Amino acid sequence: MVIQAILKESRATYQAQYHQAIARLIHIPKGTLRLQTRKGKRYWYLRRFMPAQGYEDLYLGLAGNRDVEQLVAFIAERKQRLHELKAIKEALRQLGVRKMEFQEKGYHQMFTALLEAFGKVGLWDEGLMLIGSWCFNVYTQAFGVEYYPLRTMDFDFGLRIPYRGDKADINEILTNLGFSARIDMAYDKVDYVLPGVGMVEVFIDRDKASDQQIKALKRDLSIRPAAVSYLQLLVDYPVNVKIHGVHKSITLPAMPAFFVHRLITASFGEYRDAALDRGKIRKDYKQAALVAKKILESSDLRGKLALVIDGLNPDQRAKMIAGAAAAKEFVKAPDLSEEDILWIQKALSGKRR
């Protein structure tokens, strides 16, 4: 009995370390650091392989710059964390933990498992949409938007209201994948958390979220989503895309809608404080800038952007303009540059590259 208790405690300790290591690795960009010299100055790049595109060098910044060196040190940490993870896995194996108990904890496996599970019950056909930073990650893979390494751990989804699809038990889907429900009394919602991997949140548009509609979602989908403003900007412009590892196509917002939504919510969205959330706001502007570059390459996307902007009400248009103007207040290399601000301005003015 004593030995069993010790083994159980050891397994719990190593499993906690495993989750912590995975959580750290999820945020560390993959790739090889490269230091290049041009005109007597040295610059850091991150070389990484992009599917169907080959290798590319992502510019990080001038060597010696404090912020750039911090990012370089963070990326260099990946090798050490992988060694730690290997040792933790070996310890777990010796303690009798089966490989299958920890092999599906990484982001990419869980991400595809989530998308696949939602597809099996038809949610992609009935108004579910992938949104947030991992939507941007799909843009980089599916549409060639420039890679950007910083991201959140959350898996964010939007849902069209009113929901007219078949019934499905989202609570059961998420708990079967290992997530635990967490009630957030402050915002009257339920999130699903998996330590070491992240959190699943489902959002609905505040203007559509009547008490009756929320009751219907609890009844038909077994979820309590969060009501936020401006979500309809995304839901009204869906696109379908097929990604590796998922049998059914998933639904995303069109890039022009994502761009406009980022400009509005970076400063005016819920859960944002300009003083406390500068990193998140900077990330949103960076993603908007990189999407803007891709929009300017296509006449179809520029036309779609014009339609999205024409569809804004006066309050939304004013906040989009104010949000774009405020972007320059968050410039900080290497995450957000003056050049990024120019791409945002060019997209709004309709100028080509």
Tens-place pLDDT, residues 283-316: 899 999 999 999 999 999 999 999 999 999 999 9
Boundary-marking domain end, from 101, 121, 154: 101
Judgement on whether residues 274 and 128 belong to the same structural domain of the protein = yes
- The answer, yes or no, to whether residue 215 has pLDDT greater than 50, is yes
Quick one: which of 289, 275, 167 has its CA closest to 218? 167
How confident is the model over 120-142, as a mean pLDDT?
A: 89
3-class DSSP state for residue 186?
coil
Between 157 and 28, the higher pLDDT residue: 157
- The answer, yes or no, to whether residue 42 has pLDDT greater than 50, is yes
Q: How confident is the model at residue 154 (pLDDT cuts 50, 70, 90)?
A: confident
Mean pLDDT of all residues belonging to the chain = 83
Q: How confident is the model at residue 352 (pLDDT cuts 50, 70, 90)?
A: very low
Judgement on whether residues 91 and 213 belong to the same structural domain of the protein = no
Boundary-marking domain end, from 77, 101, 125: 101
Judgement on whether residues 203 and 61 belong to the same structural domain of the protein = no
Asked, as a colleague might, if the bond just before 334 is cis with ω within 30 of 0, I would say yes
Judgement on whether residues 177 and 113 belong to the same structural domain of the protein = yes
Q: Which residues of 310-344 are buried (b: 16+ CB within 10 A; e: fewer)?
A: eebeeebeebbeebbebbeebeeebbbbeebbebb
- The pLDDT value recorded for residue 105 is 41
248 alpha carbon, distance to own chain's centre:
20
User: 149 is in which domain, residue-wise?
Assistant: 107-349
Judgement on whether residues 270 and 339 belong to the same structural domain of the protein = yes
Judgement on whether residues 241 and 331 belong to the same structural domain of the protein = yes
- The pLDDT value recorded for residue 19 is 64
Residue 29 contacts by C-beta under 8 Å, 6 or more apart in sequence? 46, 48, 75, 78, 149, 150
Between 39 and 22, the higher pLDDT residue: 39
pTM: 0.71
- The pLDDT value recorded for residue 325 is 94
Judgement on whether residues 89 and 228 belong to the same structural domain of the protein = no
**Residue located via tokens 């502007």:** 285
How confident is the model over 259-282, as a mean pLDDT?
A: 83
pLDDT digits (tens, 9 = 90+) for 187-202: 667 888 876 667 899 9
How confident is the model over 325-352, as a mean pLDDT?
A: 85
Judgement on whether residues 201 and 88 belong to the same structural domain of the protein = no
Q: Which tokens in the block code for residue 134?
A: 């991992």
Number of domains comprising the chain:
2
Boundary-marking domain end, from 86, 101, 116: 101
Q: How confident is the model at residue 53 (pLDDT cuts 50, 70, 90)?
A: low
The HSE-up count of residue 263 (CA atoms within 13 Å, CB side) is 33
